[in-house]
A and B are shown apart, each in its own frame.
Chain A
């Protein structure tokens, strides 16, 4: 999918009116099948950019064109259909604790199948091989029938990424895919993701805390700082000076380990105590 942004601004959904937008006047062109890593210190607007691209957030101003079409001009049902062609993997994997891994992965196929097919899949998973293959890319095939709340934080994150693999989206938006993974797993997960996107010709946009990983796996790097584009360069042209400037006052984020993920998955809530009349 081709992306064209012109002077795009967006606010965090919870932001109060009057505060400065998290993303201000970003212009960007990404052609179909390109792979782009978004780096920058925390609070630079990386997640807001992904949410805007995923049509999860309405732009405050500026224009967003996906394949030459403004999604917010579409009717509500057409917009929902368009969202089926986008896949946003949030940083905290959105998995209900009592669900089994196979169901959680196959949920990535929901936009491409009807209600009855998806209900049948709850009784007996329709496409077990596809789920298994997606999990195998993240070394998790043996957890196929485990429950999500029996997994570790890193395993959950990889299940969330496997969901991206089974969807048929032509734009994959991945938010901090490596925040809960150790270096070896990160390496492998990144390879699986980029290769899957290449194979199906999907555009891949990932935000990364881990700058070396971004430089190693992505041909194009977008540096964001304070809601604006600091640089937009091929990975080979990114110099240490660029990074120093991008992370000025945030150098610990550049050199230190990735920020600990918020892997506090809300566990099953305590049953509500209710009294009769």
Chain B
């Protein structure tokens, strides 16, 4: 190989790889990343015993009935939480969308509506920046142990997330149809229902179903702080090192996620 045919990008590539590793190293140290402790004999044995317990999953009738009831409760929690979140997210998203501003049709937005939109964006940020686990801990103290606190926690956090993402989807869509309608004198909500919504319905639906899936998983975590559902069941099984029960619960989770995935695909197909 002669000097001329050497790849000129080679030196840069090596440099950036080494630089990346150099940045990664302190991060690994800081996060106490020591995977080899997993393989130590006194760590490996109990872990393997626990995982070995996973098989066979527990399938007696009594447990399956309990599992079915708690699954239903988890789905209900996620659905109720998401419905409440929608009630919060839809009006906030519509308020914060610039595309539906009449004053922005010709020139820049008027100062009062602009300030209102910024305020709504901050509210959405506040709602979603507090993790649902924290909201759940707050509500467990207010309304006591049980699914209610889980539902409220999901409603608040997911309201913030959905509102922000809805607003982003609406903003980034093609606005030609919407602005044309508003230019011809229709109202903002009319323009939303006749132009912006049909333009974005598939994305909005797909994202909402995806969030429903997230809410199911999230309600499992919330169960650990006493908000009921599959999570609480899993918590007690874990505490008693009952691997076969944990395995059954995990299988139910997979089934739920698969179901949500199929549902979202079907809805997207129907709306495409």
- CB neighbours of A82 from chain B (8 A): 185
Other than the known A83-B183, A94-B180, what 8 A-B pairs have Cβ atoms closer than 8 Å?
A: A55-B106, A80-B182, A92-B176, A94-B177, A98-B201, A115-B187, A269-B203, A274-B165
Residues of A within 8 A of B (CB): 13, 54-58, 76, 80-88, 90, 92, 94-99, 103, 107-108, 110-111, 115, 118-119, 122, 167, 169, 266, 268-269, 271-272, 274, 276-277
Residues of B within 8 A of A (CB): 102-103, 105-107, 110, 165, 169, 173-174, 176-177, 179-187, 189-191, 193-195, 198-203, 206-207, 210, 213-214, 217, 268, 271-272
Q: Is A80 a contact partner of B214 (Cβ separation < 8 A)?
A: no
Q: Is A110 a contact partner of B187 (Cβ separation < 8 A)?
A: yes
- CB neighbours of A87 from chain B (8 A): 184
Q: Is A119 a contact partner of B193 (Cβ separation < 8 A)?
A: yes
Q: Is the interface of A mostly helix, strand, loop or mixed?
A: loop
Q: Is A96 a contact partner of B198 (Cβ separation < 8 A)?
A: yes
- CB neighbours of A90 from chain B (8 A): 176, 180
A-B contact count (CB 8 A): 112
Query: Sorted from nearest, which 4 A-B pairs have the closest CB atoms?
Result: A84-B185, A111-B185, A94-B180, A110-B186
Q: Is A269 a contact partner of B174 (Cβ separation < 8 A)?
A: yes
Q: How far is the CA of A92 from the CA of B175 in the complex (A)?
A: 12
Q: Is B102 a contact partner of A271 (Cβ separation < 8 A)?
A: no
- Partner of B184 from the list A57, A96, A119, A167 (CB cut-off 8 Å) is A167
Q: How far is the CA of A266 from the CA of B201 in the complex (A)?
A: 15
Q: Is A115 a contact partner of B185 (Cβ separation < 8 A)?
A: no
- CB neighbours of A169 from chain B (8 A): 184
Q: Is A122 a contact partner of B106 (Cβ separation < 8 A)?
A: no
Q: How far is the CA of A92 from the CA of B176 in the complex (A)?
A: 9
Q: How far is the CA of A277 from the CA of B105 in the complex (A)?
A: 35
Q: Is A271 a contact partner of B268 (Cβ separation < 8 A)?
A: yes
- CB neighbours of B179 from chain A (8 A): 94
- CB neighbours of B272 from chain A (8 A): 268
- CB neighbours of B180 from chain A (8 A): 88, 90, 94
